[in-house]
Protein backbone atom coordinates (compact mmCIF):
# COMPACT_ATOMS: atom_id res chain seq x y z
CA UNK A 1 0.00 0.00 0.00
CA UNK A 2 1.26 3.50 -0.82
CA UNK A 3 0.06 6.74 0.73
CA UNK A 4 0.86 10.27 -0.25
CA UNK A 5 -0.49 13.56 1.07
CA UNK A 6 0.33 17.25 1.04
CA UNK A 7 -0.26 19.57 3.99
CA UNK A 8 -0.84 23.18 4.90
CA UNK A 9 2.35 23.47 6.91
CA UNK A 10 2.11 24.19 10.61
CA UNK A 11 4.79 21.98 12.13
CA UNK A 12 8.35 23.30 12.12
CA UNK A 13 11.75 21.65 12.39
CA UNK A 14 12.96 23.30 15.60
CA UNK A 15 16.29 21.57 16.21
CA UNK A 16 18.56 18.68 15.22
CA UNK A 17 21.37 16.68 16.79
CA UNK A 18 23.43 13.53 16.38
CA UNK A 19 25.84 11.26 18.24
CA UNK A 20 28.30 8.71 16.85
CA UNK A 21 31.00 6.54 18.44
CA UNK A 22 34.44 8.09 18.71
CA UNK A 23 36.46 5.19 17.33
CA UNK A 24 36.44 4.60 13.58
CA UNK A 25 37.08 1.28 11.86
CA UNK A 26 38.59 1.61 8.36
CA UNK A 27 38.02 -0.97 5.65
CA UNK A 28 41.54 -2.27 6.14
CA UNK A 29 40.47 -3.71 9.51
CA UNK A 30 38.32 -6.25 7.64
CA UNK A 31 41.23 -7.37 5.48
CA UNK A 32 42.58 -9.23 8.51
CA UNK A 33 39.55 -11.50 8.90
CA UNK A 34 37.59 -11.50 5.64
CA UNK A 35 38.29 -12.18 1.98
CA UNK A 36 37.96 -8.51 1.08
CA UNK A 37 39.97 -5.34 0.59
CA UNK A 38 39.61 -1.61 1.00
CA UNK A 39 39.44 -1.20 -2.78
CA UNK A 40 36.70 -3.87 -3.09
CA UNK A 41 34.54 -2.25 -0.42
CA UNK A 42 34.98 1.30 -1.73
CA UNK A 43 34.25 0.30 -5.32
CA UNK A 44 31.04 -1.55 -4.46
CA UNK A 45 29.67 0.58 -1.64
CA UNK A 46 31.49 3.90 -1.33
CA UNK A 47 32.19 3.17 2.35
CA UNK A 48 35.69 3.86 3.67
CA UNK A 49 35.14 3.61 7.41
CA UNK A 50 32.42 3.25 10.02
CA UNK A 51 31.97 3.71 13.78
CA UNK A 52 31.22 0.91 16.24
CA UNK A 53 29.98 1.46 19.79
CA UNK A 54 31.81 0.06 22.79
CA UNK A 55 30.40 -3.17 24.21
CA UNK A 56 29.02 -1.40 27.30
CA UNK A 57 27.20 1.29 25.28
CA UNK A 58 23.52 1.06 24.40
CA UNK A 59 21.09 2.26 21.77
CA UNK A 60 19.39 4.47 24.38
CA UNK A 61 22.65 6.13 25.41
CA UNK A 62 23.33 7.29 21.86
CA UNK A 63 19.69 8.24 21.39
CA UNK A 64 19.78 10.38 24.53
CA UNK A 65 22.99 12.14 23.46
CA UNK A 66 21.59 12.99 20.03
CA UNK A 67 18.26 14.04 21.53
CA UNK A 68 19.92 16.34 24.07
CA UNK A 69 21.70 18.20 21.25
CA UNK A 70 18.47 18.53 19.26
CA UNK A 71 16.62 19.76 22.34
CA UNK A 72 19.33 22.34 23.08
CA UNK A 73 19.20 23.56 19.47
CA UNK A 74 15.41 23.91 19.61
CA UNK A 75 15.37 26.23 22.62
CA UNK A 76 12.63 24.14 24.23
CA UNK A 77 12.87 22.84 27.76
CA UNK A 78 12.50 19.14 28.64
CA UNK A 79 9.14 19.95 30.22
CA UNK A 80 7.83 21.30 26.91
CA UNK A 81 8.31 18.03 25.01
CA UNK A 82 5.05 16.12 24.75
CA UNK A 83 6.08 13.10 22.70
CA UNK A 84 9.16 10.92 22.24
CA UNK A 85 9.41 8.38 19.44
CA UNK A 86 12.51 6.28 18.80
CA UNK A 87 13.02 4.51 15.48
CA UNK A 88 15.26 1.49 15.98
CA UNK A 89 15.72 -2.16 15.09
CA UNK A 90 18.37 -2.66 17.78
CA UNK A 91 16.55 -1.70 21.01
CA UNK A 92 18.19 -1.90 24.41
CA UNK A 93 15.81 -4.74 25.25
CA UNK A 94 12.50 -6.19 24.11
CA UNK A 95 10.58 -4.36 26.84
CA UNK A 96 10.30 -1.58 27.78
CA UNK A 97 10.59 0.65 24.72
CA UNK A 98 13.95 2.33 24.23
CA UNK A 99 12.02 5.62 24.03
CA UNK A 100 10.94 5.16 27.66
CA UNK A 101 14.56 4.87 28.76
CA UNK A 102 15.47 8.02 26.82
CA UNK A 103 12.49 9.87 28.28
CA UNK A 104 13.66 9.07 31.79
CA UNK A 105 17.29 9.90 31.02
CA UNK A 106 16.39 13.39 29.75
CA UNK A 107 13.69 14.17 32.31
CA UNK A 108 10.91 14.58 29.76
CA UNK A 109 8.28 14.38 32.47
CA UNK A 110 5.32 15.55 30.34
CA UNK A 111 5.92 13.26 27.35
CA UNK A 112 4.46 9.97 26.22
CA UNK A 113 6.87 7.68 24.42
CA UNK A 114 7.11 4.65 22.18
CA UNK A 115 9.36 2.91 19.65
CA UNK A 116 8.71 2.40 15.94
CA UNK A 117 10.19 -0.36 13.77
CA UNK A 118 10.53 0.41 10.06
CA UNK A 119 14.20 -0.52 9.64
CA UNK A 120 16.20 1.97 7.57
CA UNK A 121 13.03 3.97 6.78
CA UNK A 122 12.30 4.36 10.49
CA UNK A 123 13.28 7.99 10.96
CA UNK A 124 11.01 9.24 8.18
CA UNK A 125 8.14 7.05 9.40
CA UNK A 126 8.68 8.46 12.91
CA UNK A 127 8.75 12.04 11.59
CA UNK A 128 5.46 11.46 9.80
CA UNK A 129 3.93 10.04 12.99
CA UNK A 130 5.15 12.98 15.09
CA UNK A 131 3.86 15.47 12.53
CA UNK A 132 0.44 13.80 12.63
CA UNK A 133 0.35 13.80 16.44
CA UNK A 134 1.13 17.52 16.54
CA UNK A 135 -1.37 18.40 13.83
CA UNK A 136 -4.06 16.38 15.59
CA UNK A 137 -3.59 18.37 18.78
CA UNK A 138 -2.30 15.49 20.92
CA UNK A 139 0.91 17.42 21.57
CA UNK A 140 2.54 20.67 20.54
CA UNK A 141 6.08 19.31 20.27
CA UNK A 142 7.83 16.00 19.65
CA UNK A 143 11.31 14.59 19.93
CA UNK A 144 11.99 12.23 17.03
CA UNK A 145 15.04 9.99 17.39
CA UNK A 146 16.63 7.25 15.31
CA UNK A 147 19.30 5.15 16.99
CA UNK A 148 20.83 1.89 15.80
CA UNK A 149 23.85 -0.13 16.93
CA UNK A 150 24.08 -2.67 14.14
CA UNK A 151 27.39 -3.92 15.49
CA UNK A 152 25.21 -5.83 17.96
CA UNK A 153 23.58 -7.92 15.21
CA UNK A 154 26.36 -8.24 12.64
CA UNK A 155 28.00 -11.52 11.69
CA UNK A 156 31.59 -10.37 11.36
CA UNK A 157 32.38 -13.49 9.32
CA UNK A 158 29.86 -12.50 6.63
CA UNK A 159 31.51 -10.31 4.00
CA UNK A 160 28.14 -9.40 2.48
CA UNK A 161 26.92 -7.55 5.59
CA UNK A 162 29.78 -6.96 8.04
CA UNK A 163 31.40 -4.21 5.97
CA UNK A 164 28.20 -2.27 5.32
CA UNK A 165 26.91 -1.09 8.68
CA UNK A 166 27.90 1.32 11.44
CA UNK A 167 26.48 2.68 14.68
CA UNK A 168 25.00 6.06 15.54
CA UNK A 169 21.98 8.17 16.40
CA UNK A 170 20.28 11.29 15.12
CA UNK A 171 17.39 13.36 16.40
CA UNK A 172 15.03 16.18 15.50
CA UNK A 173 12.54 18.31 17.41
CA UNK A 174 9.26 19.10 15.70
CA UNK A 175 7.05 21.85 17.13
CA UNK A 176 3.72 23.46 16.35
CA UNK A 177 4.19 26.69 14.45
CA UNK A 178 1.69 29.52 14.92
CA UNK A 179 0.73 31.61 11.90
CA UNK A 180 2.37 34.63 13.53
CA UNK A 181 5.68 32.75 13.27
CA UNK A 182 5.45 32.18 9.52
CA UNK A 183 7.99 33.79 7.22
CA UNK A 184 7.28 37.31 5.86
CA UNK A 185 6.33 35.82 2.49
CA UNK A 186 3.52 33.90 4.15
CA UNK A 187 5.19 30.51 3.83
CA UNK A 188 5.40 28.45 7.02
CA UNK A 189 8.25 26.02 7.59
CA UNK A 190 7.74 22.33 8.22
CA UNK A 191 6.28 19.34 6.42
CA UNK A 192 5.15 19.95 2.84
CA UNK A 193 4.43 16.41 1.62
CA UNK A 194 5.04 12.79 2.57
CA UNK A 195 4.88 9.40 0.90
CA UNK A 196 4.97 6.05 2.70
CA UNK A 197 4.98 2.60 1.13
CA UNK A 198 5.32 -1.04 2.14
CA UNK A 199 5.86 -3.84 -0.37
CA UNK A 200 5.31 -6.72 2.04
CA UNK A 201 5.89 -9.30 -0.69
CA UNK A 202 9.61 -8.53 -0.28
CA UNK A 203 9.72 -8.84 3.52
CA UNK A 204 12.31 -11.63 3.43
CA UNK A 205 15.11 -10.02 1.40
CA UNK A 206 16.61 -8.35 4.50
CA UNK A 207 16.07 -9.98 7.87
CA UNK A 208 17.33 -10.56 11.39
CA UNK A 209 15.46 -13.52 12.87
CA UNK A 210 17.06 -13.54 16.30
CA UNK A 211 15.09 -12.50 19.34
CA UNK A 212 11.69 -13.18 17.81
CA UNK A 213 9.23 -16.06 17.72
CA UNK A 214 10.05 -17.18 14.17
CA UNK A 215 12.36 -20.18 14.01
CA UNK A 216 12.11 -21.27 17.66
CA UNK A 217 12.80 -24.93 18.32
CA UNK A 218 11.84 -24.82 21.98
CA UNK A 219 10.05 -22.31 24.19
CA UNK A 220 13.39 -20.99 25.44
CA UNK A 221 15.37 -20.95 22.20
CA UNK A 222 14.81 -17.38 20.99
CA UNK A 223 18.48 -16.47 20.55
CA UNK A 224 20.21 -13.37 19.20
CA UNK A 225 20.54 -13.46 15.42
CA UNK A 226 22.45 -11.80 12.63
CA UNK A 227 21.45 -9.62 9.70
CA UNK A 228 21.01 -11.56 6.46
CA UNK A 229 20.48 -9.90 3.10
CA UNK A 230 19.83 -10.66 -0.54
CA UNK A 231 22.05 -7.85 -1.77
CA UNK A 232 20.98 -7.80 -5.41
CA UNK A 233 17.28 -7.79 -4.62
CA UNK A 234 17.68 -5.14 -1.94
CA UNK A 235 19.63 -2.94 -4.37
CA UNK A 236 16.93 -3.22 -7.03
CA UNK A 237 14.09 -2.64 -4.58
CA UNK A 238 15.82 0.31 -2.92
CA UNK A 239 16.38 2.14 -6.20
CA UNK A 240 12.82 1.60 -7.38
CA UNK A 241 11.25 2.48 -4.03
CA UNK A 242 13.30 5.64 -3.41
CA UNK A 243 12.61 6.90 -6.92
CA UNK A 244 8.87 6.28 -6.51
CA UNK A 245 8.71 8.04 -3.13
CA UNK A 246 10.59 11.07 -4.47
CA UNK A 247 8.22 11.36 -7.41
CA UNK A 248 5.25 11.03 -5.04
CA UNK A 249 6.22 13.99 -2.88
CA UNK A 250 7.24 16.13 -5.84
CA UNK A 251 3.89 15.48 -7.51
CA UNK A 252 1.95 16.11 -4.28
CA UNK A 253 3.74 19.41 -3.64
CA UNK A 254 3.97 20.69 -7.20
CA UNK A 255 7.74 21.02 -6.79
CA UNK A 256 10.45 20.05 -9.24
CA UNK A 257 13.91 18.65 -8.49
CA UNK A 258 15.50 22.06 -9.05
CA UNK A 259 13.41 23.49 -6.20
CA UNK A 260 15.05 21.15 -3.67
CA UNK A 261 18.04 22.74 -1.94
CA UNK A 262 19.30 19.43 -0.56
CA UNK A 263 18.22 15.82 -0.95
CA UNK A 264 19.16 13.63 2.02
CA UNK A 265 19.00 9.94 1.10
CA UNK A 266 19.41 6.90 3.30
CA UNK A 267 23.11 6.10 3.37
CA UNK A 268 23.15 2.45 2.33
CA UNK A 269 25.31 2.31 -0.77
CA UNK A 270 26.75 5.00 -3.02
CA UNK A 271 25.68 3.01 -6.10
CA UNK A 272 22.04 3.15 -4.97
CA UNK A 273 22.32 6.88 -4.34
CA UNK A 274 23.92 7.49 -7.74
CA UNK A 275 21.24 5.50 -9.53
CA UNK A 276 18.41 7.32 -7.76
CA UNK A 277 20.00 10.71 -8.52
CA UNK A 278 20.28 9.77 -12.18
CA UNK A 279 16.72 8.47 -12.43
CA UNK A 280 15.05 11.51 -10.86
CA UNK A 281 17.37 14.07 -12.43
CA UNK A 282 18.89 15.43 -9.23
CA UNK A 283 22.56 16.53 -9.06
CA UNK A 284 24.62 14.14 -6.93
CA UNK A 285 26.70 17.04 -5.61
CA UNK A 286 23.59 18.58 -4.01
CA UNK A 287 22.86 15.43 -2.01
CA UNK A 288 24.03 15.12 1.59
CA UNK A 289 26.26 12.04 1.61
CA UNK A 290 28.29 10.80 4.58
CA UNK A 291 28.31 7.02 4.16
CA UNK A 292 32.01 7.09 3.32
CA UNK A 293 32.65 8.07 6.97
CA UNK A 294 29.90 6.21 8.79
CA UNK A 295 28.66 3.33 6.64
CA UNK A 296 24.98 2.41 6.85
CA UNK A 297 23.67 3.50 10.26
CA UNK A 298 20.22 2.12 9.44
CA UNK A 299 17.46 4.44 10.75
CA UNK A 300 20.07 6.88 12.08
CA UNK A 301 21.61 7.61 8.67
CA UNK A 302 19.20 10.34 7.59
CA UNK A 303 19.01 12.34 10.85
CA UNK A 304 22.80 12.29 11.23
CA UNK A 305 23.19 13.64 7.68
CA UNK A 306 20.39 16.15 8.33
CA UNK A 307 22.06 17.47 11.47
CA UNK A 308 25.41 17.79 9.73
CA UNK A 309 23.77 19.68 6.85
CA UNK A 310 22.07 22.08 9.27
CA UNK A 311 25.15 22.68 11.41
CA UNK A 312 27.56 23.21 8.52
CA UNK A 313 25.20 25.66 6.82
CA UNK A 314 24.46 23.49 3.84
CA UNK A 315 20.75 24.04 4.47
CA UNK A 316 19.19 27.07 6.10
CA UNK A 317 15.90 28.85 6.79
CA UNK A 318 13.48 28.69 3.89
CA UNK A 319 15.25 25.85 2.10
CA UNK A 320 13.27 22.88 0.82
CA UNK A 321 14.87 19.56 1.72
CA UNK A 322 13.81 16.06 0.81
CA UNK A 323 14.41 12.99 3.00
CA UNK A 324 14.10 9.57 1.36
CA UNK A 325 14.80 6.03 2.56
CA UNK A 326 14.16 2.38 1.83
CA UNK A 327 14.70 -0.61 4.05
CA UNK A 328 13.71 -4.04 5.26
CA UNK A 329 10.11 -4.95 5.15
CA UNK A 330 10.22 -3.74 2.34
CA UNK A 331 9.45 -0.21 3.50
CA UNK A 332 10.15 3.14 1.89
CA UNK A 333 9.39 6.71 2.82
CA UNK A 334 9.97 10.29 1.73
CA UNK A 335 9.30 13.65 3.33
CA UNK A 336 9.56 17.08 1.79
CA UNK A 337 9.95 19.86 4.32
CA UNK A 338 10.87 23.52 4.48
CA UNK A 339 13.54 24.36 7.03
pLDDT per residue as tens digits for the range 203-218? 877 777 777 777 666 5
User: Which of 179, 198, 213 lies at the terminal end of a domain, its last residue?
Assistant: 179
105 and 138 share one domain: yes
* Phi/psi of residue 174, nearest 5 degrees: -110, 140
204 and 171 share one domain: no
Confidence class of residue 107 from pLDDT cuts 50, 70 and 90?
A: very high
Among the residues of 28-177, which ranges form H helices? 38-45, 59-74, 98-106, 122-136, 159-162
93 and 219 share one domain: no
Determine, yes or no, domain membership for 324. yes
265: Cβ–Cβ under 8 A, 6 or more apart, which residues? 242, 272, 273, 276, 287, 288, 289, 302, 324, 325
33: CATH: 3.40.47.10
98 and 215 share one domain: no
User: Which of 150, 179, 208 lies at the terminal end of a domain, its last residue?
Assistant: 179
Task: Answer yes or no: 255 catalytic.
Answer: no
Residue 89: is its pLDDT beyond 80? yes
Res 288: pLDDT: 97
Report field, pTM of the whole predicted structure over 0.95:
no
d(CA 286, CA 290): 13
Q: Select which of 100, 131, 197, 296 is catalytic.
A: 296
Cβ pair 145, 67 in contact under 8 A: yes
152 and 60 share one domain: yes
33 and 165 share one domain: yes
109 and 196 share one domain: no
Residue 36, burial from CB neighbour count under 10 angstroms (0-12, 13-18, 19+): middle
68, 211, 306 from 324: Cα distances, Å: 24, 28, 11
334 and 247 share one domain: yes
Task: Answer yes or no: 104 catalytic.
Answer: no
134 and 274 share one domain: no
Res 4: pLDDT: 54
Determine, yes or no, domain membership for 63. yes
Determine, yes or no, domain membership for 266. yes
First vs last Cα of the chain: how many Å apart?
A: 29
Determine, yes or no, domain membership for 233. yes
pLDDT tens digits for range 151-182: 999 999 988 899 999 999 999 999 998 654 55
Q: Select which of 100, 131, 205, 266 is catalytic.
A: 266
194 and 273 share one domain: yes
Confidence class of residue 9 from pLDDT cuts 50, 70 and 90?
A: very low
Percent of the chain, pLDDT > 70? 91
Determine, yes or no, domain membership for 1. no
pLDDT tens digits for range 326-336: 988 789 999 99
Res 302: pLDDT: 98
pLDDT tens digits for range 109-135: 999 999 999 999 999 999 999 999 999
Q: What mean pLDDT comes out for the span 304-310?
A: 98
Determine, yes or no, domain membership for 185. no
214 lies in which domain range? 190-288+301-338
57 and 117 share one domain: yes
Cross-strand pairs, 159 = none
317 and 223 share one domain: yes
272: Cβ–Cβ under 8 A, 6 or more apart, which residues? 235, 238, 239, 242, 265
Determine, yes or no, domain membership for 2. no
Domain total for the chain? 2
Confidence class of residue 1 from pLDDT cuts 50, 70 and 90?
A: very low
Task: Answer yes or no: 266 catalytic.
Answer: yes
Q: Select which of 120, 208, 242, 262 is catalytic.
A: 120
Looking only at the bridges linking them, the beta strands covering 262-265 and 320-327 are: parallel
Residue 190: is its pLDDT beyond 60? yes
Identify the H or E element spanning 148.
strand 141-149
Determine, yes or no, domain membership for 3. no
User: Which of 148, 179, 210 lies at the terminal end of a domain, its last residue?
Assistant: 179
Amino acid sequence: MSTSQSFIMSVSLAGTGHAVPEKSFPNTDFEKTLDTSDAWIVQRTGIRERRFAEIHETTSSYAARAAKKALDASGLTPEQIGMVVVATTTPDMRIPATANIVQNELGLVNAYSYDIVAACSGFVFAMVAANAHIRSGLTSSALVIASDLYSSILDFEDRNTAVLFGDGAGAAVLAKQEKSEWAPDGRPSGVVAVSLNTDATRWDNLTCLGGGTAGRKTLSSAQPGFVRMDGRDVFKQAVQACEARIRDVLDASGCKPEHIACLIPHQANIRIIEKVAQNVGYPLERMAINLDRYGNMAAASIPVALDEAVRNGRVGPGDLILLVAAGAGFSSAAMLLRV
